């Protein structure tokens, strides 16, 4: 018999860390519920998939997988920087942007450090910081789903190592305006690092979209802007995200805390090809935004309260425990995410999928 783990083996901050509420893979759905999922709307994936060119280069790169990839990812970093007025030395790529969130926290946080974020928020913004022994203050959005700029400023009256938030927000959906970002910078202490997570940037209405790295370029604080190929680029399964930082020294520190070969060769090839097909990206965004307005209209007609979304998902008040609401839908083959963060346990997040998936969701949702 294997001996029990010594009581002190696991670090206390890990032992008491909540489990991340990750979405369910399709094969797990079948294993767990014995039926097929007809609408997988729990993980903000892209119903049109990756650009055809990205799939081709994955096939072309496959015969070379016995070779390690370039640990510096210099080709992809240069490709990401190209046409954006970015210095490739400040760009970093990771095994998904979640990998970069972890690398950032490991590079910067000391046990006991203070991290500020919003509530509700993307779970890893909180859990990654807790795993490093930091304390996390979560500041609620305003009642009208605006970013709580002055309350965030008040929270940072206590010395704060990192301010991290997603814009557009996951799970709520609103995106920050340039005026709000500038106001946020004005209330952020100079030595607080700003981590601005733009995983859903591509879905934002172009009229409302801001160039965060350009706005941050002349601020006094250190910063990182994070983006991903998992959402609008449709490459969630291959795992690749990227960031641009205020300083090559910050990128360099994160390269030390990231796995050296964290981004695999197929992901590197696919990400470059995805960037080379803006027409595919435009199709994805057009489908998602038109379906988003159709689904949100239908949900409002059914009596649901929704947060305003600039993303590929909607956040709705289910009117009761969201776990039960999501469980009822699951029995009909529709998978959505019940939110598990107080005080939002009556809320659920649903991805905008293909039209048939959205129809299946709307057909399964009861009126309120």
Ligand X SMILES: Cc1ncc(COP(=O)(O)O)c(C=O)c1O
Q: How far apart are CA 340 and CA 124, in angstroms?
A: 13
Q: How far is the CB of 228 from ligand X (least distance, A)?
A: 3
Residue 170: CB partners within 8 Å, gap ≥ 6? 44, 121, 122, 199, 200, 311, 313, 349
- Judged by CB under 6 A, the chain residues 159 through 178 that form the site for ligand X are 166, 170
CB of 166 to ligand X, least distance (A): 4
DSSP state of 114: E
Q: By rule CB under 6 A, what string of x and - marks binding of each residue 230-249 to ligand X?
A: x-----x----x--------
Taking the complex as a whole, the smallest distance from the CB of residue 200 to ligand X amounts, in Å, to: 7
336 binds ligand X (CB under 6 A): no
CB of residue 197 to ligand X, shortest distance in Å: 5
By beta-carbon proximity to ligand X, the closer residue of 155 and 164 is 164
The number of CA neighbours under 13 Å toward the Cβ of 262 is 23
What sign results for the dihedral spanned by CA atoms 329, 284, 123, 6?
positive
Nearer to ligand X, 230 or 251 (CB): 230
Question: Which pair of structure tokens corresponds to residue 353?
Answer: 């999928």
Contact call for residue 274 and ligand X (CB under 6 A):
no
Question: Applying CB under 6 A, what is the total number of residues that bind ligand X?
Answer: 13
Reduce the DSSP state of residue 47 to 3 states and report it: coil
Nearer to ligand X, 106 or 332 (CB): 106
What is the CA 134 to chain-centroid distance, rounded?
20
Nearer to ligand X, 99 or 113 (CB): 99
- Cβ proximity to ligand X, 199 vs 295, nearer residue: 199
Distance CA(239)–CA(228), nearest Å, equals: 9
The residue at minimum Cβ distance from ligand X is 96
- Match 């929270």 to its residue by tokens: 155
Using CB under 6 A as the binding rule, the residues of this chain from 65 to 104 that contact ligand X are 96-98
| C-beta of 148 vs 241, nearer to ligand X | 241
Kindly state the smallest distance separating residue 335's Cβ from ligand X, in Å. Answer: 15
d(CA 334, CA 359) in angstroms, rounded, equals 10
Residue 228 in the binding site for ligand X (CB under 6 A): yes
* Residue whose C-alpha is closest to residue 42's, from 338, 284, 366: 338
Name the burial class of residue 49, with classes exposed (0-12), middle (13-18) and buried (19+) by CB atoms within 10 angstroms of its CB.
middle
Binding to ligand X, residues 182-221 (CB under 6 A): 197, 199
Q: Which residue has the tokens 């783990």?
A: 5
Q: Which of 37, 44, 244, 254 contacts ligand X by CB under 6 A?
A: 44
- Specify the residue for token string 């309120």: 368
Please name the helix (run of DSSP H) or strand (run of DSSP E) that holds residue 278, with its range, or none. helix 278-301
Is residue 289 a contact point for ligand X (CB under 6 A)? Answer: no
Comparing CB distances to ligand X, the nearer of 113 and 126 is 126
Q: Which is nearer to ligand X, 10 or 42 (CB)?
A: 42
Smallest gap from residue 169 Cβ to ligand X (A): 8
Residues near ligand X, by CB under 6 A: 44, 96-98, 122, 166, 170, 197, 199, 228, 230, 236, 241
């Amino acid at each position: 018999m294997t001996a029990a783990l010594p009581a002190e083996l696991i670090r206390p901050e890990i032992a008491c860390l909540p489990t991340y509420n990750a979405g369910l893979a399709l094969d797990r759905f079948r294993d767990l519920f014995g039926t097929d999922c007809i609408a997988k709307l729990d993980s903000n994936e892209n119903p049109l998939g990756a650009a055809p060119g990205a799939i081709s280069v994955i096939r072309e790169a496959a015969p070379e997988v016995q070779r390690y990839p370039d640990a510096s990812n210099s080709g992809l970093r240069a490709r990401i920087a190209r046409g954006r007025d970015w210095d490739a030395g400040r760009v970093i790529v990771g095994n998904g942007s979640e990998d970069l969130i972890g690398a950032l926290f490991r590079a910067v946080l000391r046990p006991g450090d203070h991290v500020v974020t919003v509530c509700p928020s993307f779970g890893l913004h909180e859990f990654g910081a807790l795993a490093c022994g930091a304390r996390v203050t979560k500041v609620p959005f305003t009642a009208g789903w605006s970013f709580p700029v002055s309350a965030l400023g008040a929270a940072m009256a206590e010395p704060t190592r990192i301010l991290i938030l997603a814009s557009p927000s996951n799970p709520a959906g609103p995106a920050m305006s340039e005026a709000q970002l500038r106001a946020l910078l004005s209330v952020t202490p100079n030595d607080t690092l700003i981590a601005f997570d733009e995983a859903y940037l591509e879905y934002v209405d172009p009229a409302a979209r801001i160039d965060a790295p350009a706005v941050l370029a002349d601020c006094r604080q250190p910063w990182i802007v994070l983006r991903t190929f998992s959402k609008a680029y449709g490459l969630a399964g291959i795992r690749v995200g990227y960031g641009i930082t205020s300083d090559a020294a910050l990128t360099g520190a994160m390269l030390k805390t990231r796995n050296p070969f964290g981004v695999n060769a197929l992901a590197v090839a696919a990400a470059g090809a995805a960037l080379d097909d803006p027409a595919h990206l435009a199709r994805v965004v057009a489908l998602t935004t038109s379906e988003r307005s159709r689904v949100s209209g239908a949900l409002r007609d059914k009596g649901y309260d929704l947060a305003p979304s600039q993303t590929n998902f909607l956040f709705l008040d289910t009117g009761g425990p969201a776990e039960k609401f999501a469980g009822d839908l699951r029995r009909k083959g529709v998978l959505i995410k019940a939110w598990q963060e107080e005080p939002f346990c009556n809320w659920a997040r649903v991805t905008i999928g293909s039209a048939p998936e959205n129809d299946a969701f709307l057909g399964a949702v009861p009126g309120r």
